[in-house]
């Protein structure tokens, strides 16, 4: 097979947004939900178990179809974001789905309302197929309020905290950043601005960051106030009303990771703060400066700019997968065989890359923007890794197939490492080797330590706000957080005190960020085990992926002999990085 850059085919989903098949899908969904609503009156602790199973199975079937329609809308929009039909269809679909969701909510609420004893009869029968799904709904039982209270929260959230979040995003998304590039002042978006801090011009890097936090800082007082309101609302609802023990434990329950495991992760990470400081000091030497500035942490050390043809890139990825296990290559190939990959760069096409899976009966879809850079090959391996993960878990029902957030990046990151190892093994050019390792550790910094310190700041900020801290207090605490993170390895400009008001995650999904660190360190530790064990590791790894989202994440790992409860496990991930820094330190600086 030859691999050519091009667009995917969405035919396996629907022939077109306005096809009779799509119209039929909407009608079927409408009909199925109306049918499902009839269960409302039948739900009771002593209802027939068969009937309960039918309700679950119907819901599963409807969810598959709803996911297909939603996936089509998303992919249709991604292939050309300027397409009016795609925009309108996306909006229509979202509105329709929100309506359906509200009409089926009653089932979860009823299920949560049962006593432990009352669920036993149902669980015995449903266990094998729907066990974890049903369990995960019930995990929230102790924190669920009465139906009228839940309704009030929902209704008030629309115009309350959700409106606040929308305002935050409306305000910050219209920011324009003015920076002089090549002697000309340009108006840039944040994305365009941030691309420049990865560039070779040291002065420009500094100007970009100064402009970024000047713009955010000018609104710092008001953005900080919005953050205070969101955090207060989060605490009022989750701790005072629902009874969670701490702000972070809300996220831990959604991720289904025990509090102690997250505490252990954060604690070990804090102990390893010095690792990246060593890396930044080393980077200063290579960039030929006494000390790095915070502006320089993403500066390129690279000199070699190799270009790759798409076909060669695909072959390289598939070969690397094949060497790890033929199963991985075979699954990845399915994405190409079924024309489920969109690889070319086109105007209007969504930037970046992603893998999308919906109905487990369908091979996932992958979108990349292939430019021929070494990075693009890594991205290809990453997204195909996601696809492999989904395909290995395709035997589960739709509720159990998608892995939960902390495990969602396992196969993608692991696949990237498999590829990089292969590249390093084949690369004889020392400069290229050095560049690969530099960018590996740089990426690890951004996904691990940067996110850990965001989470540590969030933990502190939530406590401070409960104790009436001002926006200035928070900005000062953020500065201290940065000083602790970087030690004496960098100089930090005063404007960084406003960095926290520029991080959408801490506004939108409190404590989301630690999952990035969890995922990346987990993979580093797993990869380490693979290196030590070789072949015998592969089936255990495939077992983790095949579990999808059918069990609590910690149990999935336990079954594969991976114990994330101990500090030693997490330290193992950092040790891999430490050895990479050792390797770089051993190279004489020219």
Residues that bind Zn ion (CB under 5 A): 412
Is the CB of 99 or the CB of 504 nearer to Zn ion?
A: 504
Of 220 and 519, nearer to Zn ion (C-beta) is 519
DSSP 288-354: T-SSEEGGGTT-----------HHHHHHHHHHHHHHH-HHHHHHHHHHHHTT-EE-S--TTS--S-E
What stretch of H or E contains 586?
Answer: helix 567-586
Give the rounded distance of the alpha carbon of 552 from its chain centre.
18
* Residue among 253 and 515 whose Cβ is closer to Zn ion: 515
Element (H, E) at 555: helix 553-559
Following CA atoms 104, 108, 109, 114 in sequence, which dihedral angle do they give, to the nearest 10 degrees? 140
| Buried b / exposed e along 325-350 (16+ C-beta atoms within 10 A) | bebbbebbbebbebbbbbbeeeeebb
In the complex with Zn ion, the residue whose CB is nearer, 104 or 413, is 413
Look at residue 503 and give its three-state secondary structure: coil
**Six-digit token string for 550:** 């059918």
Buried b (16+ CB within 10 A) or exposed e, 237-265: bbbeebebebbbbbbbbbbbbbeebbebb
Q: How far is the CB of 151 from Zn ion (least distance, A)?
A: 36
CB nearer to Zn ion: pick between 412 and 440: 412
Nearer to Zn ion, 252 or 412 (CB): 412
Q: Of 86 and 384, which has the nearer Cβ to Zn ion?
A: 384
**CB nearer to Zn ion: pick between 384 and 441:** 384
Shortest separation between residue 328's beta carbon and Zn ion, angstroms? 16
- Distance, in Å, from the CA atom of 379 to the CA atom of 352, rounded to the nearest integer, reads 9
Q: Which long-range contacts (CB under 8 A, 24 or more apart) does 575-583 make?
A: 575/528, 576/524, 576/525, 576/527, 576/528, 577/275, 577/441, 577/444, 577/448, 577/524, 578/275, 580/437, 580/440, 580/441, 581/275, 581/278, 581/279, 581/282, 581/441, 583/437
* Residue closer to Zn ion (CB basis): 5 or 408: 408
| Least spacing, CB of residue 234 vs Zn ion, in Å | 27
Min separation Cβ 405 and Zn ion, Å: 11
Cα separation, 326 vs 388, whole angstroms: 12
Distance CA 67, CA 97 (A): 10
Q: Are 226 and 376 in contact (CB under 8 A)?
A: no
Nearer to Zn ion, 52 or 365 (CB): 365
Q: Which is nearer to Zn ion, 343 or 397 (CB)?
A: 343
- Give the H/E segment covering residue 187: strand 184-188
Q: Which two tokens stand for residue 337?
A: 């065989």
Q: How far is the CB of 562 from Zn ion (least distance, A)?
A: 20
Round to the nearest angstrom and report the end-to-end CA distance of the chain: 44
| Shorter beta-carbon distance to Zn ion: residue 378 or 442 | 378
Q: Report, in Å, the least distance between residue 7 CB and Zn ion.
A: 22
Nearest residue to Zn ion, using CB? Answer: 412
Q: Which is nearer to Zn ion, 358 or 412 (CB)?
A: 412
CB of 355 to Zn ion, least distance (A): 7
Residue 68 bridge partners (DSSP): none
Q: What is the largest CA-CA distance in the chain?
A: 78
CB of 354 to Zn ion, least distance (A): 8
């Amino acid at each position: 097979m030859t691999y050519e850059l091009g667009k995917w085919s969405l035919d396996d989903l629907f022939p077109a947004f306005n096809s009779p098949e799509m119209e039929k899908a909407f009608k079927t969904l409408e009909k199925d939900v109306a049918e499902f609503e009839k269960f409302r009156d039948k739900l009771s602790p002593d209802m027939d178990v068969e009937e309960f199973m039918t309700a679950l199975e119907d819901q599963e079937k409807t969810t598959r179809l709803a996911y297909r329609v939603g996936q089509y809308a998303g992919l249709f929009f991604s292939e050309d974001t300027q397409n009016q039909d795609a925009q309108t269809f996306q909006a229509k679909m979202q509105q329709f789905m929100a309506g359906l969701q509200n009409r089926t909510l009653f089932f979860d609420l009823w299920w949560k309302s049962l006593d432990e004893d009352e669920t036993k009869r149902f669980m015995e029968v449903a266990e094998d197929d729907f066990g974890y799904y049903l369990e995960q709904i019930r995990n929230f039982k102790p924190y669920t309020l009465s139906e009228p209270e839940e309704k009030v929260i929902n209704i008030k959230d629309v115009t309350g905290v959700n409106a606040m979040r929308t305002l935050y995003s409306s305000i910050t998304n219209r920011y324009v950043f003015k920076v002089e590039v090549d002697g000309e002042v340009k108006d840039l978006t944040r994305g365009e601005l941030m691309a420049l801090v990865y560039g070779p011009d040291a002065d420009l890097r500094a100007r970009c960051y100064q402009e970024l936090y000047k713009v955010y800082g000018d609104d710092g007082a008001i953005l900080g106030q919005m953050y205070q309101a969101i955090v207060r609302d989060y605490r009022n609802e989750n701790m005072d009303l629902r009874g969670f023990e701490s702000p972070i434990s809300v996220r831990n329950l959604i991720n289904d990771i025990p509090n102690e495991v997250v505490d252990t992760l954060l604690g070990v990470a804090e102990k390893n703060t010095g690792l990246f400081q060593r890396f930044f000091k080393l980077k200063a030497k290579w960039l030929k400066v006494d000390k790095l500035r915070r502006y320089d942490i993403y500066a390129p050390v690279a000199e070699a700019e190799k270009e790759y043809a798409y076909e060669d890139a695909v072959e390289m990825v598939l070969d690397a997968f094949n060497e790890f296990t033929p199963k991985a290559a075979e699954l990845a190939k399915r994405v190409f065989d079924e024309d489920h990959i969109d690889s070319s760069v086109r105007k209007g096409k969504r930037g970046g890359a992603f893998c999308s899976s919906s109905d487990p009966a369908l091979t996932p879809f992958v979108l990349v923007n292939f430019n021929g850079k070494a990075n693009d090959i890594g991205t290809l391996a990453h997204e195909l890794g996601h696809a492999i993960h989904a395909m290995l878990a395709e035997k589960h029902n739709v509720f159990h197939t998608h892995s939960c957030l902390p495990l969602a990046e396992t196969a993608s990151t692991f696949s990237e490492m498999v590829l990089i190892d292969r590249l390093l093994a084949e690369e004889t050019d020392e400069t290229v080797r050095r560049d690969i390792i530099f960018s590996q550790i740089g990426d690890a910094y951004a996904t691990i330590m940067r996110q850990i310190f965001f989470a540590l700041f969030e933990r502190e900020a939530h406590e401070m706000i409960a104790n009436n801290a001002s926006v200035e207090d928070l900005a000062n605490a953020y500065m201290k957080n940065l000083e602790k993170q970087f030690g004496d390895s960098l100089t930090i400009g005063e404007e960084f005190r406003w960095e926290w008001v520029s991080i959408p995650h801490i506004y939108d999904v409190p404590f989301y960020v630690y999952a990035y660190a969890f995922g990346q360190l987990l993979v580093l530790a797993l990869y380490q085990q693979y290196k030590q064990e070789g072949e015998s590791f592969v089936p255990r790894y495939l077992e983790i992926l095949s579990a999808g989202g059918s069990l609590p994440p910690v149990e999935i790992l336990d079954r594969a002999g991976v114990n994330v409860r101990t500090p030693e496990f997490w330290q193992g991930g950092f040790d891999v990085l430490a050895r990479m820094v050792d390797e770089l330190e051993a190279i004489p600086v020219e």
